[in-house]
Amino acid sequence: MTELEAAKQNVIEDFALYDEWLDKYEYIIELGKNLGEYPEEKKTDDKLIKGCQSRVWLDYKLQDGKLWFSADSDAIITRGIISLLVSVYSGRSPQEIAADDFSFLDAIGLKENLSPTRAGGLRAMVETIKKAAQDNV
Amino acid sequence: MESVNEIRSRFPQLSEKVYGKPLVYLDNAATALRPLSVVKKWEEMSLVHNANVFRAVYRTSVEATEAFEAAREAVARHINAADSAEIVFTSGDTAAINLVAGSFGEEFIKEGDEIIVSEAEHHSNLVPWQILCRRKGAKLVKLPVADDGTLRTDLLPGLLTPAAKLLCVADISNVLGIINPVKEIVRICHAADCAVLVDGAQGIVHSRPDVQELDCDFYTFSGHKVYAATGTGVLYAKRKWLDAMPPYMAGGEMIDTVSWESSTYAKAPHKFEAGTPNVAAVPTLVPALEIAEEMSAPEFSANSLAIKEYILESLSSVEGLQLFGNPADAGDKINLFSFVVRGAHHEDLALLMDKMGVALRSGQMCAEPLMGRFGVTGMLRASFAPYNTMQEAEYFIESLQRALRMLR
């Protein structure tokens, strides 16, 4: 199993620990609270992800052939969701991310438990990560 | 609260569960739940009286036309219009306002004229006027909102220049829940020869407008907010305007005679009802307005008042909570509460409370300029209907506190 696959498997197992969606959200909120610092000066419009109800910024750098993401949002649940993506996809090669189908998000049932506007926001976050990978392949 | 419980049994969705928890529906300002009587009327229109209106001699078409026109009579009675011909059916509040902007605007607004719009309007009562102003080279003028959410009517005399031709205002704002003094506004505007459009999207639910007493030139509302089927809307306009306004859309039964080169038009209201109207839905306004009237009985008002006092008291004790639309006299406010809480994003609160079974609105509530006015990116809104109970209000407050504990 690749490291990416293992990271995804970990998330799936973490989510499976909770039966109630409110508890899963509690977990997402914790992820949001623990997301690393994101510099204020990088909260610029070009880093803003379009299509989210709350504001989400995503930035990345390419180092030693691997992509490292950082992100922030003014809503804590959105922070939690982007934190999940950042932790799974940071430190992977652009090729690996570009080839990924992001289907683990279906496996944890996140999409169907978000409102349509939130689900649209999640899709926009995924597209932004994919594009960062494709731009650097 | 016997009447409240009895009415609740007529709104089946109130017994629904979400995520295994009872649904507590507090987004009534967006759309109301539907009573069985409305669904039955829609079903009857679809399964028994389905035919096109106004055009045929056969029995079913006559029945459909009668049901359609009975709705016009019922609406006219409900808002006390002088004549049922002053009631035009549209697809909703937005369509009614657009009809006035398109038709009245075409005939009566010219370059250099001014249209005054209150700062508290939802987009449906702002954007049509922006478009009209651009089309005609007219000027959009703002009637500002004070910090407590009330309208700055003291500024009105200064805004009413000779160029002011129309003022547009909601009788109750969908964000602030404040009952605006529209009768007074109409009086001041008419003294300056300025017409007034009252957007009754919320007012039709929480008050019993009397258009003759208000003396407004136009009154608009959507059926779905007042328990009728979606796709129904009403434009009330004074006869003198309807007679002078050109058709907005053309086709169907809005004509008198048609030759290849030109046409003459039917009289109002049919002049403004081009195409096949929503035949199945419009008659649902009859049972909808009946149940609205039932829910204006004293027992419901007492229940609503108790809920208002409880919510205002409870919200004021939540740390860091800011309520928007806080008039000095709570009697000027309906049971609609928009607020933000420091340290908790409105969207997060709405999402968590959804999982607890509470349906709330979060975001800009179709009133982006008003969000800017109060310096926020969005708010959380709980809007009650007469069928909501004190237990639901208490559960809402408990859920809010629980969600805040999770987020902070």
> Residue B235 pLDDT more than 80?
yes
Buried b (16+ CB within 10 A) or exposed e, B75-106: bbebbebeebbbbbbbbbbbbbbbbbbbbbbe
User: Do B121 and B98 fall into the same domain?
Assistant: yes
Fold adopted by A3-135: Sufe protein. Chain: A (3.90.1010)
> Residue B5 pLDDT more than 90?
yes
pTM of the model as a whole:
0.90
Interchain proximity B352–A75, CB inside 8 Å: no
From CA B134, how far away is CA B130, in angstroms rounded? 6
pLDDT at residue B365, as a whole number:
84
Residue of B nearest to A74 (CA): B345
Where does B78-200 show beta strands of DSSP type E?
Answer: 87-90, 114-118, 139-143, 164-170, 195-199
Catalytic hit among A52, A71, A122, A132: A52
Shortest alpha-carbon distance between residue A120 and chain B (Å) = 14
B32 within 8 A of B359, measured Cβ to Cβ: no
Weakest-pLDDT range from B48-62, B221-235, B329-343: B48-62
Interchain proximity A22–B351, CB inside 8 Å: no
Query: Which DSSP helix (H) or strand (E) runs through B383?
Result: strand B379-383
Say yes or no: A29 contacts chain B, CB-CB below 8 A: yes
Cβ contacts of residue B139 below 8 Å, gap of 6+?
B112, B113, B114, B115, B133, B163
B299-334 pLDDT, tens digit per residue, is: 999 999 999 999 999 999 999 999 999 999 999 999
> Residue B94 pLDDT more than 70?
yes
Three-state SS for B209-244 is CCHHHHCCCEEEEECHHHCCCCCCEEEEECHHHHHH
Contact list, B355 vs chain A (CB under 8 Å):
21-22, 25
B18-32 pLDDT, tens digit per residue, is: 989 999 999 999 999
What phi and psi values does residue A57 have, to the nearest 5 degrees? Answer: -110, 140
Interchain proximity B347–A54, CB inside 8 Å: yes
Interchain proximity A118–B377, CB inside 8 Å: no
From CA B404, how far away is CA A88, in angstroms rounded? 28
> Residue B91 pLDDT more than 90?
yes
Nearest to A29 among B354, B377, B406 (CB): B406
From CA B343, how far away is CA A32, in angstroms rounded? 13
Looking at every residue in chain A, the average pLDDT score rounds to: 89
User: Do B306 and B228 fall into the same domain?
Assistant: no
Mean pLDDT of B218-236: 98
From CA A33, how far away is CA A76, in angstroms rounded? 7
From CA B272, how far away is CA B283, in angstroms rounded? 18
- B111 C-beta neighbours (distance < 10 Å), count: 8
Residues in chain A: 137
Mean pLDDT of B236-263: 92
User: Do B200 and B225 fall into the same domain?
Assistant: yes
> Residue A47 pLDDT more than 80?
yes
In the residue annotation, A52 being an active-site residue is answered as: yes
Provide the residue range defining the domain that includes B190.
39-291
Catalytic hit among B168, B189, B216, B366: B366
> Residue A118 pLDDT more than 90?
no
What phi and psi values does residue B283 have, to the nearest 5 degrees? Answer: -65, -15
Interchain proximity B352–A22, CB inside 8 Å: yes
Contact list, A120 vs chain B (CB under 8 Å):
none
Weakest-pLDDT range from A30-44, B23-37, B65-79, B193-207: A30-44
User: Do B312 and B277 fall into the same domain?
Assistant: no
B353-405 pLDDT, tens digit per residue, is: 999 999 999 988 888 889 999 999 899 999 999 999 999 999 999 999 999 99
> Residue B55 pLDDT more than 90?
no
> Residue B1 pLDDT more than 80?
no
Interchain proximity A53–B347, CB inside 8 Å: yes
Interchain proximity B19–A21, CB inside 8 Å: yes
Residues above pLDDT 70, as percent of chain B: 100
From CA A2, how far away is CA A92, in angstroms rounded? 10
What is the band of A49 on the pLDDT scale with cuts at 50, 70, 90? confident
Contact list, B352 vs chain A (CB under 8 Å):
22, 25, 77
Structure tokens of B18?
């979400």
Looking at every residue in chain B, the average pLDDT score rounds to: 96
> Residue B80 pLDDT more than 90?
yes
CA distances from B212 to B72, B82, B90, B255, B296 (A): 17, 7, 21, 29, 20
User: Do B135 and B20 fall into the same domain?
Assistant: no
User: Do B287 and B301 fall into the same domain?
Assistant: no
What is the band of B56 on the pLDDT scale with cuts at 50, 70, 90? confident
What phi and psi values does residue B195 have, to the nearest 5 degrees? Answer: -75, 160
Cβ contacts of residue B138 below 8 Å, gap of 6+?
B109, B110, B111, B112, B113, B114, B115, B132, B165
Domain termination residue (choose one: B262, B291, B320)? B291
Structure tokens of B277?
């109207």
What is the band of B165 on the pLDDT scale with cuts at 50, 70, 90? very high
Mean pLDDT of B210-237: 98
Q: What is the DSSP letter of B279?
A: T
Q: What is the DSSP letter of B80?
A: T
Beta-strand relationship, B336-341 and B379-383: antiparallel
User: Do B51 and B80 fall into the same domain?
Assistant: yes
CA angle B296, B297, B298 (to 5 degrees): 120
User: Do B249 and B372 fall into the same domain?
Assistant: no
Query: Count of domains in chain B?
Result: 2
What is the band of A116 on the pLDDT scale with cuts at 50, 70, 90? low
Cis peptide leading into B269, omega within 30 of 0? Answer: yes
Mean pLDDT of B84-110: 98
User: Do B269 and B341 fall into the same domain?
Assistant: no
User: Do B97 and B184 fall into the same domain?
Assistant: yes
Residues above pLDDT 90, as percent of chain B: 90
| Contacts with B, A 75-134, CB within 8 Å | 75-78, 114-115, 118
> Residue A51 pLDDT more than 80?
no
Mean pLDDT of B168-180: 96
Domain termination residue (choose one: B240, B264, B291)? B291
Structure tokens of B262?
């030109």
CATH number of the domain encompassing residue B335: 3.90.1150.10
CATH number of the domain encompassing residue B125: 3.40.640.10
Shortest alpha-carbon distance between residue B300 and chain A (Å) = 33
Domain termination residue (choose one: B257, B291, B325)? B291
Mean pLDDT of B211-225: 98
Shortest alpha-carbon distance between residue B403 and chain A (Å) = 10
Contact list, B344 vs chain A (CB under 8 Å):
76
